[in-house]
Chains A and B, each alone.
Chain A
Amino acid sequence: MATSDGSTIIGESILISGSLNGDEDLTVRGRVEGTLTLTKTLLVEPTGIVKAEVQVRNCVIAGAVVGNVTASESVEITNQGRMVGDITAPRVIIVDGASFRGRIDMGEVDVDAARESRGAARAAPARPALRAAPRPAAAPAARAEARKAEEPAAPAKPPAPPAPVAMGAVKRKVIVKRK
């Protein structure tokens, strides 16, 4: 008897509560509560509701998911998808129209490396203004000196930033605030 093998479908009126494990694609049109562990793709259709700790390879959310999702490859929330919970996956796609609340962890985001490469290219000229604005501290002069000391250390700035102008701007800002 031939059946649609290799894919599991949870129909609209079905509620599964407990744990669900498997090595094949799963389409959820009904409700699943508890824990859900797959080695393949979970597809939550618009009518589907998943309230579970989800561990899968890929996850496509067009319905509702409440709970944490851990994917070894990707998580995608489509424009109909709603999700509350934390996502852990190297690739996370959230399209326009999707609703999501929670944290996202894409793993090894090497912030230091990113800052260095970006700092050399782009951020350097903007740096003085960016730094000073949020904290108009008590000793602008000291800060300016500190910055002066810092700046030569910054690696390879091709267009030397207009430092004096920027510092002037900073000083003016601080003074205005004090008044």
Chain B
Amino acid sequence: MAGIEKVPAPRAGAHTVIGSSIVIDGEISGDEDLVIQGTVKGRIGLRESLYVESSGVIEADIETANVEVSGQVTGNIVASDKVELKADCKVVGDIRAPRILIADGAQFKGNVDMDVKELKGK
């Protein structure tokens, strides 16, 4: 509906938006892009991209194809493709993905594992 058209081009594929005042305690799973501006606690499992915007707060383990973090994430991130930590993000937890990008200004504490070929082979 009207909401979709408002989503800008880079988020064109994102049909799911968790707004800034939303708090979810539990599990989110799905096969499409997810934009988080609010708070999620628990677990996130996607087959597409996860965007944590600057107002987004995540206390959850994340398992997706792509992750782009501009907000706060506490928890382990496993991505089959790429994890991108943007400037001004705060991430605490372990990251496992074949491609990991950390921008200047990003805060991160945790382990990084880019050697996930065996995981892919499984």
Question: Which residue among B1, B4, B7, B15 has the maximum number of chain A CB atoms within 10 Å of its CB?
Answer: B15
A3 contact set on B, CB distance < 8 A: 6-8, 11, 17, 35, 37, 53
Residue of B nearest to A33 (CB): B26
- Closest chain-B Cβ to A50's Cβ sits at a distance in Å of 14
The docked-state distance in angstroms from the alpha carbon of A123 to that of B20 is: 55
- At the interface, yes or no: A7 with Cβ under 8 Å from chain B? yes
- Closest chain-B Cβ to A10's Cβ sits at a distance in Å of 6
Given A1-B8, A14-B28, A7:B19 Cβ within 8 A: yes
- Closest chain-A Cβ to B38's Cβ sits at a distance in Å of 7
**Number of residues of chain A lying within 8 A (CB) of chain B:** 30
Residue of B nearest to A29 (CB): B15
Contact of A20 with B22 in the complex, beta carbons under 8 Å: yes
- At the interface, yes or no: B95 with Cβ under 8 Å from chain A? no
A2 contact set on B, CB distance < 8 A: 8
Residue of A nearest to B36 (CB): A8
Q: Quick one: CB contact mask for B24-42 with A, threshold 8 Å, 1 for yes?
A: 1111111111110110001
The docked-state distance in angstroms from the alpha carbon of A20 to that of B23 is: 6
- Closest chain-B Cβ to A40's Cβ sits at a distance in Å of 9
Q: Quick one: CB contact mask for A14-34 with B, threshold 8 Å, 1 for yes?
A: 111111111110110110001
Contact of B26 with A8 in the complex, beta carbons under 8 Å: no
Contact of A27 with B3 in the complex, beta carbons under 8 Å: yes
- Closest chain-B Cβ to A41's Cβ sits at a distance in Å of 12
B18 contact set on A, CB distance < 8 A: 8, 10
A20 contact set on B, CB distance < 8 A: 22-26
Residue of A nearest to B24 (CB): A20
Which of B8, B10, B16 is A9 in contact with, Cβ under 8 Å?
B16
The docked-state distance in angstroms from the alpha carbon of A51 to that of B10 is: 32
Contact of B24 with A16 in the complex, beta carbons under 8 Å: yes
Residues on A lying within 8 angstroms of B by beta carbon are 1-24, 26-27, 29-30, 34, 45
Residues on B lying within 8 angstroms of A by beta carbon are 1, 3-4, 6-8, 10-11, 14-35, 37-38, 42, 53
7 closest pairs, A vs B, by CB?
A18-B26, A11-B15, A14-B30, A11-B16, A22-B22, A8-B19, A4-B6
